[in-house]
Amino acid sequence: MVTRRSFVAGNWKMNGLKKDGLSLAKSLVSKVKKLDNSNVEIVICPPFTLLATTGSALKGTKIKLGGQDCHFSNTGSHTGDISASMVKDAGCKYVIVGHSERRINHREGNDIIKKKAEAALLNGLTIILCIGETLNQRITKKTQTVIRRQIVGSLPKSSRSKNTIIAYEPIWAIGTGKTATPSQAQEIHKFIRYQLVKCIGPSESKKMRIVYGGSVKPENAKALLGQPDVDGGLIGGASLVSSDFFSIIQSCS
Ligand code: PGA
């Protein structure tokens, strides 16, 4: 029987100035220090402007730093973009790729996301690869087709359980207060794991962490993250309140 280490990441999105980031990170560090459990891998993904400040507050703690995106090129004429090597250089060990807000707001398709993911892996980052369906796709029963296409289209060949975490984030549940029910989440996570068998083989598929994202809160975390194929969470809104984020971490302990 394979045991997968729980994984919880906070996606701060475009929130926070230096003072906010620093106090949020410090408050979280002091809470996590009291957590006598090394079984949960904890990551926070602040905006790029806060990586340095937040990173300094996290130094020497068990909370690791992640970026929210990266470009697929290493250098060059890409105004406003940040490369995977820059994300790494800024102190990150992780990077989110394929978040639905990038897919929708920046029209990123599976091919671009795959290139970003490949660049991140080449630079030694662990990717948090986001996939998920829209409400319309769910209603019209296209969820599995969409998820399968996203996995096949955006998962790099070199993805393995040690360098990749899949985040299932139904778009209709992100920032809306609507969550998938624990059984809806489990159903899709199980389906994702089954699809992964075809891409990376049965043994790696069993080991790969698949986390849930979409309006996870302290009140629903235990039930959602307690499902057999749900290995943790990617947390947006609730990660901006240290007591809420900490309570979600505790749900995985
Ligand atoms: P939410 O965001 O927790 O605010 O729904 C999750 C995410 O977008 O990663």
Total domains in the chain come to: 1
How far is it between the farthest Cα atoms of the chain?
Answer: 48
pLDDT for residue 36 is more than 90: no
Which residue among 216, 240, 251 has the greatest number of ligand 1 atoms within 8 angstroms of its CB, and so is best to mutate?
216
In a domain, 1, yes or no: no
Q: What is the extent of the structural domain holding 28?
A: 6-251
The residue with tokens 């969470």 is 233
Is the residue at 161 inside a domain? yes
Domain for residue 220, yes or no?
A: yes
Backbone CA torsion sign across 55, 58, 64, 66: negative
What lines the ligand 1 site, CB under 6 Å?
11, 169, 174-175, 213-216, 234-238
Find the mean pLDDT for residues 16-41. Answer: 91
- Residue 253 C-alpha from the chain's centroid: 18
Q: Which atom of ligand 1 has the smallest separation from the CA of 11?
A: 9
| Residue 168 within a domain | yes
Please report, for the domain that includes residue 46, its CATH number. 3.20.20.70
- Ligand 1 atom with the smallest distance to the CA of 237 is 4
Q: Tell me the three state secondary structure of residue 53.
A: helix
Mean pLDDT of the 239-250 span: 97
Atom of ligand 1 nearest to the CA of 215: 5
Is there a contact between 29 and 63 (Cβ–Cβ < 8 Å)? yes
Per the domain annotation, does 89 fall within a domain? yes
In this predicted model, what pLDDT tens digit does every residue of 141-196 receive, in sequence order?
Answer: 999 999 999 999 999 999 999 999 999 999 999 989 889 999 999 999 999 999 99
- Catalytic residue positions? 99, 169
Of 242, 173, 231, 164, the C-alpha closest to 196 is 164
Inside any domain, residue 92: yes
- Confidence check: pLDDT of 38 > 80: no
Kindly state whether residue 27 falls inside one of the protein's structural domains: yes
Ligand 1 center–CA 237 separation, angstroms = 6
**What's the predicted TM-score (pTM) here?**
0.97
Q: Per-residue confidence at 35, pLDDT binned at 50, 70, 90?
A: confident
pLDDT exceeds 70 at position 62: yes
- Mean pLDDT within 226-252: 97
